Structure 1
Amino acid sequence: MTSYQKTLNFPAQPTQTAHLIRSDEEALSIAKTLSAKFKASAVERDQQRILPFQEIEEFSQSGLWGITVPKAYGGAEVSSWTVAQVIALFSGADGSIGQIPQNHFYAIEVIRNTGTEAQKKRLYQEVLQGSRFGNALAEFKSQNATQKNSYLTPHGDGYLLQGEKFYCTGSLFAHRIPTLVKDEQEHEFLAFVKKDAKGLTLIDDWSGFGQRVTGSGTVKLDQVYVDADDLIPFSDVFTSPTLVGPYAQLLHASIEVGIARAAFEDTLHYVRQARPWIEADVSSATEDPLTLYELGHVAVDVKASELLLKHAAQFIDQIKAHVDAENIAEASIHVARVRAHSTETALKASSKLIELAGSRGSQSHDGLDLYWRNTRVHTLHDAARWKYYFIGNYRLNQILPPRRGTL
């Protein structure tokens, strides 16, 4: 267990202004080029657990971390479908890198819904200049996910934060760490804690067998001071109809769809190179009927997940300007469908890669297990069985699903 502050010297603020992306087309073009570059060293990073500080710096400096900032505040405000494609591209290249900005975009969406005008102007400008947001939301010492033991107390012109968080994906790479806390009246806030704040400790203790370099360690807060202007109300994010929940889960689905697509493409590559291993009269693996059958199944599932993802993203954009309880529920169902399907598809595609690659599938230096390990760990984030339950209850009984970030 290593304290990040003591062992890693990473700037508390961006060292230069990020590139400003102007359009969806530019965002996708940059994402395709940069993700391909990152893929070349993904296996090495995973096997040696090399945290991608350089890659994340390049990722955010490219301007891609600012693409959801509204146009009224200087951003490109690209479509949700474009954001989903960007996340999928990077996730296919390296599942860890694909997941790291998820909470960053989540925080931007919270700001859009409950931040003041002054907070939007200031924090959006920071993002456009290259700032990255991490997260400190989840806790492991409470009885369930809804209970939080991290609190803030008034102190001078601001507040003091006390608590401990885990699974803080991206926190090691962040300039600010949005931290979920409660006040004495049990009202929830997202405190945008600066990385160099006194009393803040980031611990690199994430030890999952997949998604190994997401920086998902522990965050400890010992009387950490924050300005009042750095607190954004969080209670209304789910008590009122907002897109925060569906948007968060859309990005998680994008991670799995991206991994599934990349695993399938690699499967095609390895099958084309493989020697015949089953029937003596089959001249190559590309003619083996059982191999073709398995590939056909995966191809259908991957395409279905991609179409479900696109449909969900487009629905989110369709209702963005005018949300209500009914269309937010519908958005949650759209996203739950793709999330449930992409969970199964990514697991199948990554497993079939190992199976159909033949003996090469077991060789660690090829890293073909990386897709499966990343998928298996990421799909544990929110149980797919509950998504099917809420989908069924909505379709059969017209019961609206709960508004929360995990559906």
Structure 2
Amino acid sequence: MNEHFPSVSLPIGARTRARAPAHIITSDTEALDVAARLAERFAVEAADRDRDRRLPYEEVDAFSQSGLWAITVPKSHGGAEVSYGTLAKVVETISAADGSLGQIPQNHYFLLEVLRWGGSAAQKRFLYSRVLGGDRFGNAIAELGTPTASAIRSTLVPDGESYRLSGRKYYCSGVLFADWVVPLVVDEHDKRAFVFLASETPGLSLVDDWSGFGQRTTASGTTILEEVTVPADAVVPTHGADGFSLSNPVAHIMHAAIDAGTARGAIDTAIRFIREKARPWADSGITSAAEDPHTILQIGELTMRLHAAEALIERSGFILDRVSASPDSDGWAEAAVAVAEAKMASADVALQASSKLIELGGASATRGGLNYDRFWRNVRTHSVHDPIRWRAHEVGNYWLNGIPPKQHGDRSRGVETKVLQKETGE
């Protein structure tokens, strides 16, 4: 790979942005404050957006223009480089207001992490500067019709000093809002890589066809690539030259945060509804649903489980920070397991809380106008993207047998080529 990634002019097909330059956030504290203010705004019409499947173009613009989409850019390139715990808290805060809005930038942050570990100096200079200005990345990773969900068939074909790329990608969360569409491909060496393509690149088309019953407004459409010209400098390996990357566990701490945020939103909604609208059961002898001892017990249990999940997310963030500062395979395994534990807890409490919202609210909580079922639909849809049962297996295998999780980034066409074995180095 040469070092001539564009530094001034946009690549072929790039969109001329009408947006003003984004605000630049400079600290963890500022990031959390901005997220809290945006969440309050995003919560107002969240139920209506979900019910009508109204894609949140204005909200996404406000989100990225706030500077939050650039908070993981390294300080050496002008960003805040917030901690991984802060990143997770930002995602959780937005997800509590609107689960779809919380998920939309998840792959953007993931791709920034890919760039951190695998990008060249020139690629980092250019793409970090674009993100600081307000540009957004959208993923194009998953494919249908492959042997497993992680298998990739889209292949870069050498064409002089460039490549040609054709393929079809599904479930591309947030891609309709993206300035840069980033497919996961197999390169000429049968290794996985990401390709950063401007959204208006010739041969690239986006289809708004997401039909899932949850996360309705994530714009998780289809990306079609038809003989797209790919400059060599647009290709970023999934791992650095030393084979290391934290992009996968960082992606999954955000998945945990999305579920925890959904749980928070469901519990807060349940508390408000119980206090203000729900009626006590006739046989209870009380005058307020908030006095029902069974309801009090269950709200207490849900809140405890949420706090436990949040603590696990915070813990995994600390571990990610430490491993990022001093990367090695043992640290990677520790971080991956910590994140898996947080994911398990977050998905569990989110599913419980979104169901209990209806149960404790009573029949009136099922009214279509309230759209309270969106919490369950959102977490049920989001949580099956990555099977929690396998995260539980990985956690148990690590603690019982000393076997770390597999690094999925080492897969090319769906065949595992490298498995870390703790202590043995096999």
- What is the TM-score when the length of structure 2 is the normalising length? 0.90
User: What residue number does 1:124 align with?
Assistant: 128
In structure 2, the residue corresponding to 1:366 is in which secondary structure?
coil
Q: State yes or no: 1:262 paired with 2:265.
A: yes
User: What residue number does 1:400 align with?
Assistant: 404
Which whole-Å CA distance do the structure 1 matches of 2:207 and 2:26 have between them? 36
- Residue of structure 2 aligned with 1:159, choices 163, 167, 173: 163
Q: CA deviation at 1:167?
A: 0.5
Q: State yes or no: 1:176 paired with 2:180.
A: yes
User: What residue number does 2:246 align with?
Assistant: 243
Is the CA contact (8 Å cut-off) linking 1:177 and 1:192 kept in structure 2?
yes
Which whole-Å CA distance do the structure 2 matches of 1:84 and 1:335 have between them? 11
| Runs of at least 5 residues in structure 1 that lack an aligned partner in the other structure | 1-9
Deviations 1:201-240 (Å, cap 9, x if unpaired)?
1000100000001010110000111221111112x36993
Q: CA deviation at 1:280?
A: 4.3
Q: CA deviation at 1:367?
A: 1.4
Which whole-Å CA distance do the structure 1 matches of 2:115 and 2:51 have between them? 37
Q: State yes or no: 1:350 paired with 2:354.
A: yes
Which whole-Å CA distance do the structure 2 matches of 1:278 and 1:394 have between them? 51
Alpha-carbon distance change, 12 to 134 in structure 1, aligned in 2, over 3 angstroms: farther
User: What residue number does 1:17 align with?
Assistant: 21
Alpha-carbon distance change, 347 to 339 in structure 1, aligned in 2, over 3 angstroms: same
Q: CA deviation at 1:186?
A: 1.2
Alpha-carbon distance change, 207 to 12 in structure 1, aligned in 2, over 3 angstroms: farther
Pairwise mapping of residues 94-133 of structure 1 onto structure 2 (< 5 A)? 94-133=98-137
Which whole-Å CA distance do the structure 1 matches of 2:394 and 2:401 have between them? 10
User: What residue number does 2:301 align with?
Assistant: 297
The farther-off stretch of 339-348 and 146-155 is 146-155
- Residue of structure 1 aligned with 2:55, choices 51, 56, 59: 51
The farther-off stretch of 194-203 and 268-277 is 268-277
Which whole-Å CA distance do the structure 1 matches of 2:248 and 2:326 have between them? 16
Q: State yes or no: 1:339 paired with 2:338.
A: no
Q: State yes or no: 1:193 paired with 2:197.
A: yes
Which whole-Å CA distance do the structure 2 matches of 1:148 and 1:306 have between them? 33
User: What residue number does 1:3 align with?
Assistant: none
Q: State yes or no: 1:204 paired with 2:189.
A: no
Is the CA contact (8 Å cut-off) linking 2:156 and 2:187 kept in structure 1?
yes
Alpha-carbon distance change, 143 to 238 in structure 1, aligned in 2, over 3 angstroms: farther
The farther-off stretch of 281-290 and 306-315 is 281-290
The farther-off stretch of 100-109 and 276-285 is 276-285
Please report the RMSD computed on the Cα atoms of aligned residues, expressed in angstroms: 1.7
Which whole-Å CA distance do the structure 2 matches of 1:265 and 1:398 have between them? 39
User: What residue number does 2:312 align with?
Assistant: 308
| One-letter code aligned to 1:30 | V
User: What residue number does 2:418 align with?
Assistant: none
User: What residue number does 2:274 align with?
Assistant: 271
Which whole-Å CA distance do the structure 1 matches of 2:240 and 2:363 have between them? 50
Alpha-carbon distance change, 239 to 386 in structure 1, aligned in 2, over 3 angstroms: farther
The farther-off stretch of 367-376 and 275-284 is 275-284
In structure 1, the residue corresponding to 2:407 is in which secondary structure?
coil
Q: CA deviation at 1:279?
A: 2.4
Which whole-Å CA distance do the structure 2 matches of 1:195 and 1:60 have between them? 16
Which whole-Å CA distance do the structure 2 matches of 1:14 and 1:140 have between them? 35
| One-letter code aligned to 1:129 | G
Pairwise mapping of residues 22-33 of structure 1 onto structure 2 (< 5 A)? 22-33=26-37
Deviations 1:7-34 (Å, cap 9, x if unpaired)?
xxx9553532101111111111111111
| One-letter code aligned to 1:33 | R
Is the CA contact (8 Å cut-off) linking 1:14 and 1:130 kept in structure 2?
no
User: What residue number does 1:74 align with?
Assistant: 78
Deviations 1:46-79 (Å, cap 9, x if unpaired)?
1111111111011101110000000000001011
Q: State yes or no: 1:391 paired with 2:371.
A: no
Deviations 1:81-107 (Å, cap 9, x if unpaired)?
111111011111111110000000000
- Residue of structure 2 aligned with 1:60, choices 35, 60, 64: 64
Which whole-Å CA distance do the structure 1 matches of 2:294 and 2:246 have between them? 44
In structure 1, the residue corresponding to 2:283 is in which secondary structure?
coil
Is the CA contact (8 Å cut-off) linking 1:132 and 1:176 kept in structure 2?
yes
Alpha-carbon distance change, 238 to 313 in structure 1, aligned in 2, over 3 angstroms: farther
Which whole-Å CA distance do the structure 2 matches of 1:343 and 1:141 have between them? 27
| Percent sequence identity over aligned pairs | 44
Which whole-Å CA distance do the structure 2 matches of 1:270 and 1:222 have between them? 51
The farther-off stretch of 220-229 and 130-139 is 220-229
Deviations 1:224-275 (Å, cap 9, x if unpaired)?
11221111112x3699332111100000000001110111111111111222
| One-letter code aligned to 2:255 | H
- What is the TM-score when the length of structure 1 is the normalising length? 0.94
Is the CA contact (8 Å cut-off) linking 2:168 and 2:222 kept in structure 1?
yes
Q: CA deviation at 1:278?
A: 4.3
Which whole-Å CA distance do the structure 2 matches of 1:337 and 1:50 have between them? 34
In structure 2, the residue corresponding to 1:134 is in which secondary structure?
strand
Which whole-Å CA distance do the structure 1 matches of 2:289 and 2:243 have between them? 55
User: What residue number does 2:363 align with?
Assistant: 359
Which whole-Å CA distance do the structure 1 matches of 2:398 and 2:151 have between them? 26
The farther-off stretch of 298-307 and 149-158 is 149-158
Which whole-Å CA distance do the structure 1 matches of 2:204 and 2:296 have between them? 54
